[in-house]
A and B are shown apart, each in its own frame.
Chain A
Amino acid sequence: MPQYTLNVNRKDHVVDVAADTPLLWVLRETLGLTGTKYGCGQGLCGSCTVLMDGEAVRSCSLAVADAAGKSIITIEGIAEEKDHPVVKAWLEEEVSQCGYCQPGQILSAIALLKQKANPTDAEIDEAMSGVLCRCGTYPRIRKAIHRAAQLKGGGQ
């Protein structure tokens, strides 16, 4: 099987997997990073969202071969940054219920805030509409993104 060098959470990993293996399964089962979730496998739910070179991508629909050489950040990589403003905002707004969708929500929110430091509700809706939450945490996600924007602003 081919070898790929993946840069995940700022570290290089050499993995030995079939070229068409979705990044999702490589993260979860080869690297043991189970914070990235499977929800649909078809790019429909966003549970598997990770950052690739800073952009939110669906890892279930991305072949490992296409991720090689890129910088991948998962929820575990965000956790390494102590007191990340988005995570902090998520805690303060008590967003999470079952929590299953939340890694995907948080990474999507981080990607959004990188593009728009102070997004409106409409911009939040647009950027976040790809990530489903069956527990219905959407109103708190909106609030948490606004709060994170403030926290980030405050920190600068």
Chain B
Amino acid sequence: MSDRLRINRREFLQVLGAGSAGLTLGVFRLAPALAQDGSQVFKPNEFLSIDSDGTVTLWVARSEMGQGARTTVPMMVAEQLEADWEKIRIMPAVAHPSKYGSMSTGGSTTVRRGWEPLCKAGAAAREMLISAAAQIWAVDRAGCKAENGMVIHVPSGRKLGYGELAATAANLPVPAEVKLKDPKDYKIVGKQKMRLDTPEKLTGKAVFGFDFMLPGLAIAVIARPPVLGGKVKRWDDQAAGAIQGVKQVIEVSHGLAVVADSTWAALQGREKLVVEWDEGENAKLDSAAIRQYFIEKSKEPGKSARSEGDVAAALQTAVKRIEAQYEVPFISHSPMEPMNCVADVRSDRVEIWAPTQNPQSVQSMASELTGVAMEQVFVNTTLMGGGFGRRLMADYAEEAVELSKLLQAPVKVVWTREDDLQHGYFRPGSFHVLEGAVDAQNQPVVWKHRIAAPSISGQLYPQQPPRGNPDLVDGAAQLPYRISNLLVDYVMANTALPITWLRSVYNSANAFVNESFLDELAHAAGQDPLAFRLSLLPPDHRLRGVLQLAAEKAGWSEKLPRGKGRGIACHACFGSYAAHVAEVTVTRDGRLTLDRFLCAIDCGQAVHPEGIRQQMEGGVIFSLSVAMREAITVQNGGVVQQNFDTYEPLRIHEIPARIEVYIAENNLPPGGVGEPGVPPVAPALCNAIFAACGVRVRRLPVSENDLRWS
């Protein structure tokens, strides 16, 4: 390539870059398309490159935590690129503040936010490869088409592989506008594809954060205060230091770090430490008191999140009124891989290996903490053993950075299960007061929902008050039903217990309340819960389709004997619509069995159907686990639960005998998949319990309710 061409190309790219600064996902914010070393690599944008041997490399900017990002992202790009699926290679993107747009993997965004830019990135490259072939053959490009990693000249049947075209394509301008494929021509999107991350996970070769090693890497565990927020007062590390392999005990922000040459030595060292703690302000923090605080808060005047009609007047004239109080506990994400992070902090360069859902926040945290410029902070996102929102926090990476800086050596900070359960950030608990009423025609005329709950943003970013409604009304303020007098209001009730986003965030609590109380209203109105919902949803609402689908597959209209019950619930969030039906048995002495669980999901264009099924099944089991028996409680300022004996997710013998997933087919823009399956689970379950035995569960987890009946 001549120098002149190279310069032109760069100018072109700059112009393009400037013009598309508004494209926050940065597809066309381009690096030079041709590698400077003269190797024949075609790299039309940040997301993909094609080698001269035809290998297509895709940079995946979103974290793989089990939800399949490293498969769905390639599927979207490869479809438009007309790539040969066998020649795709995936590279986890190293954190960059802007190159890839947001890299944060939360809010079920990988597909729904990635869809447009990634499809366009693939399509732009495809068009350039077609142009390159037309140029080489000196033919009209209209006679050329791309297929399975090749460009074909249709009239003559000539073919050139993408690898052979890469060098020529690299010198072509990146088209500003591209046409996306017609969904009817899809060969990859919407088809079954084996997950690309699976094979190495079944051989032990996959490197999770916990597995990452460097030569001579020190390993540290931190002795943490028994009272949340407590500080080290004084300590004796004589016995700890005597453990073979323990190198050092050093005070850090979150406690006392025991640094060793192996995890086992570090753990034993921590056992032997004698620490006196300054308890700080939280010694009296206690779950019963937090609950009482929520209840008191719920009696204060609320701030309105949504108000329609005249609730007070309608309550006066209604024929039948019902009231109820609902509550959910704090819960833990408890991914199977506990928190951990490796950091190597030097004076002018920082490198981090973190199982993180938010590499960009790790990058800025590390830059701030060390004073090293952002460009010299390299954050590698490892595989992670589950995330569920916990890894959006940078706390554990901060510990590794702080410690590596102090030690002036690379270090891995590992958390035990106990650390993870006791020093995590939790899904907030909440308290809800509901009022509803039906008129003489058995139509619901009042819906009143008061929420008292801590705000995640309020606690994490106290300096930045929300512009609109705070997060804690998410899923409650969007009640989809047409009820003429409606008031959803809230009282923010922050506590000292750390909280963060957990799979579907406030939707999990608010959908439980919405859909349970709606069931109560249906029964008050003497109506079938499914028919009642359908009568209240606007005619074009996408929840209708999934409700009908789930109900039909469940055989909703068939009667069940006493002691068995079916419950239905639905919820829309993160761009998708889900409806679930639960079928349970409750014996007279109150034993509950989960017989069958169905979910119907409308997530628009299904990109990876098998992945969607996995997410729905997993979401159902995750939230059944939460609803059945999970709760984090606090006593004397510390979390009571310690390990999987006192915080025990559901095991294989406890899940429903049958779990069925139905995907509504359409080509609407894709919605989220990781979270939308979660919110309807608890209400479907509790509505089924009510149908089986007449006990209304208003306080989660279910295990704390007496389900005996006669």
**Contact A36 B66, CB 8 Å, known A44-B644, A47-B336:** no
A42:B644 contact, CB within 8 angstroms: yes
What is the CB-to-nearest-CB distance from A30 to chain B, in angstroms, rounded to a whole number?
A: 8
Quick one: given A75-B204, A96-B198, A97-B618, are A29 and B65 in contact (CB under 8 Å)?
no
Say yes or no: A129-B651 contact (C-beta < 8 A), given A40-B643, A100-B337, A134-B386: yes
Of B67, B264, B267, B644, which one neighbours A97 at CB under 8 angstroms?
B67
Scan residues 39-63 of chain A and give those whose CB is less than 8 A from a CB of chain B. 39-42, 44-45, 47
Q: Is B652 an interface residue (CB 8 A)?
A: yes
Return the CB mask of A117-132 against B: 1 if under 8 Å, else 0: 0000100111011111
CA distance A144 to B600 in the complex (A): 24
Taken residue by residue from 95 to 138, chain A's Cβ proximity to chain B (1 for < 8 Å, 0 otherwise) reads as 01111111100100000000000000100111011111111111
Are A99 and B652 in touch, CB under 8 angstroms?
Answer: no
B73-81, B131-139, B207-215: which lies at the A interface?
Answer: B207-215
A76 to B657 Cα, complex, angstroms: 32
Task: Quote the shortest CB–CB distance from B379 to chain A (angstroms).
Answer: 20
Are B202 and A79 neighbours in the complex by a CB distance under 8 Å? Answer: yes
Q: Which of B111-119, B146-154, B619-627 contacts A (4 or more CB under 8 A)?
A: B619-627
Q: Check: A141 CB closer than 8 A to any chain B CB.
A: yes
Kindly state the separation between the CA atoms of A47 and B26 in the bound complex, as whole angstroms: 40
Q: B261's closest neighbor in chain A, by CB?
A: A29
- Given the known inter-chain contacts A79-B205, A94-B195, please indicate yes or no for A100 contacting B617, CB distance below 8 A: no
A142 within 8 A of B: yes
Give bound CA distance, A69 to B195, whole Å. 39
Find out whether the CB atom of A99 lies under 8 angstroms from the CB atom of B385. yes
Contact A37 B335, beta carbon cutoff 8 Å: no
Complex Cα distance, B210 from A97, in Å, reads 17
A-B contact count (CB 8 A): 179
Q: Which of B207, B262, B645 has the most CB of A within 10 A?
A: B262
Q: Is the CB of B617 within 8 A of A102?
A: no
What's the nearest-Cβ distance from chain A to residue B52, in Å? 31
Cβ-defined partner of A37 (8 Å) among B337, B416, B625, B652: B337
Contact between B659 and A96, CB atoms less than 8 A apart = no
Which of chain B's residues 642-675 have a Cβ closer than 8 Å to chain A? 643-645, 648-649, 651-653, 655, 657, 659
B630 to chain A, nearest CB (A): 11
Q: Is the CB of A1 within 8 A of B244?
A: yes
Contact B619 A136 (CB under 8 A): yes
Size of chain B's interface in residues, with CB distance under 8 A? 58
A88 to chain B, nearest CB (A): 9
Task: Name the residue on A nearest B192 (C-beta).
Answer: A94
User: With A75-B204, A98-B336, A100-B336 given, is the CB distance from A41 to B652 under 8 Å?
Assistant: no
**In angstroms, how far is the closest chain A Cβ from the Cβ of B6?**
43
> Is the Cβ of A106 less than 8 Å from the Cβ of B202?
yes
* Given A21-B264, A75-B202, A129-B652: A134 and B614 interface contact (C-beta under 8 Å): no
Q: Is the CB of A39 within 8 A of B336?
A: yes
Check A44–B336 contact: CB distance below 8 A: no
B618→A132 contact, CB < 8 A:
no
- Please, which residues of chain A bring their CB within 8 A of the CB of B610? 94
Bound Cα distance A121, B658 (Å): 11
Mark each residue of chain B from 575 to 610: 1 if its CB lies under 8 Å from any CB of chain A, else 0: 000000000000000000000000000000000001
Q: Is A154 on the interface with B (CB-CB < 8 A)?
A: no
Instruction: Assess A37 versus B385: contact at CB under 8 Å? Given A79-B204, A94-B610, A132-B336.
Output: yes
Residues of B within 8 A of A131 (CB): 652
A86 and B614 alpha carbons, distance in the complex (Å): 19
> Which of B207, B388, B625, B643 neighbours the largest number of chain A CB atoms within 10 Å of its CB?
B643
Identity of the chain A residue whose Cβ is nearest the Cβ of B217 in the assembled complex: A29
Shortest CB-to-CB span from A138 to chain B, Å, is: 4
* A87 contacts partner chain B, Cβ-Cβ < 8 Å: yes
Question: Could you tell me if A98 and B65 are in contact, using CB atoms closer than 8 angstroms?
Answer: yes
Q: Is B334 an interface residue (CB 8 A)?
A: yes
B628 at interface (Cβ–Cβ under 8 A)?
no
Given the known interface contacts A87-B202, A91-B194, A98-B335, the answer about A138 and B655 at a Cβ–Cβ threshold of 8 Å is yes
Q: What separation, in Å, do the CA atoms of A25 and B244 have in the docked complex?
A: 15
User: Complex: how many Å from CA A54 to CA B277?
Assistant: 47
Asked if A141 and B652 make an inter-chain contact with CB atoms under 8 angstroms apart, the answer reads yes
What chain A residues lie within 8 Å of B652 (beta carbons)? 124-125, 128-129, 131, 133, 138, 141-142
B526 CB–A CB distance under 8 Å = no
A155 within 8 A of B: no
Q: Contact check: which of B65, B213, B645, B655 meets A139 at CB < 8 Å? A: B655
Cβ of B417 within 8 Å of any chain A Cβ, yes or no, is yes
Looking across the interface, which residue of chain A has its beta carbon closest to that of B624? A136
Check A35–B203 contact: CB distance below 8 A.
yes
The chain A residue sitting closest to B416, CB to CB, is A41
Contact assessment for A38 and B205 in the assembled complex, using a CB-CB cutoff below 8 Å: no
Q: Which residue of A lies closest to B204 (CB)?
A: A35
Q: Which residues of A contact B262 (CB under 8 A)?
A: 25, 29-30
Whether A133 pairs with B194 at a CB distance below 8 angstroms is: no
B475 interface contact, C-beta 8 A: no
Q: Enumerate chain B residues within 8 angstroms of A42, measured Cβ to Cβ.
A: 417, 643-645
Q: Is B511 an interface residue (CB 8 A)?
A: no
Residue pair A100, B643 in contact (C-beta under 8 Å): no
Residues of chain A with a CB closer than 8 A to B205's CB? 35, 76, 79
Which B-chain residue is minimally distant from A30 (CB atoms)? B262
- Contact at A98–B617, with CB atoms within 8 Å? no
> Is B384 a contact partner of A98 (Cβ separation < 8 A)?
yes
- A18 at the B interface (CB under 8 A): yes
B197 located at the interface, meaning its Cβ lies under 8 Å from any Cβ of chain A in the complex: yes
In Å, the complex CA distance between A125 and B625 comes to 16
Supposing A76-B203, A79-B203, A136-B620 touch, asked if A99 and B66 sit within 8 A by C-beta, the answer is yes
Q: Which residues of A contact B (CB under 8 A)?
A: 1, 18, 21-22, 25, 28-30, 32-42, 44-45, 47, 74-76, 78-79, 87, 90-91, 94, 96-103, 106, 121, 124-126, 128-142
Question: Can you give 18 A-B contacts (C-beta < 8 A)?
Answer: A37-B208, A38-B338, A41-B416, A42-B417, A45-B336, A45-B644, A94-B610, A96-B195, A97-B66, A98-B337, A98-B385, A100-B337, A100-B385, A100-B386, A102-B202, A134-B622, A135-B618, A139-B655
- Known contacts A133-B652, A134-B334, then 9 further A-B pairs from the complex at CB < 8 Å, ordered by chain A residue: A44-B644, A96-B201, A97-B68, A97-B618, A100-B385, A103-B202, A133-B336, A138-B652, A141-B652
Q: Which 3 pairs of residues, A with B, have the shortest CB-CB distance? A: A35-B204, A100-B385, A98-B66
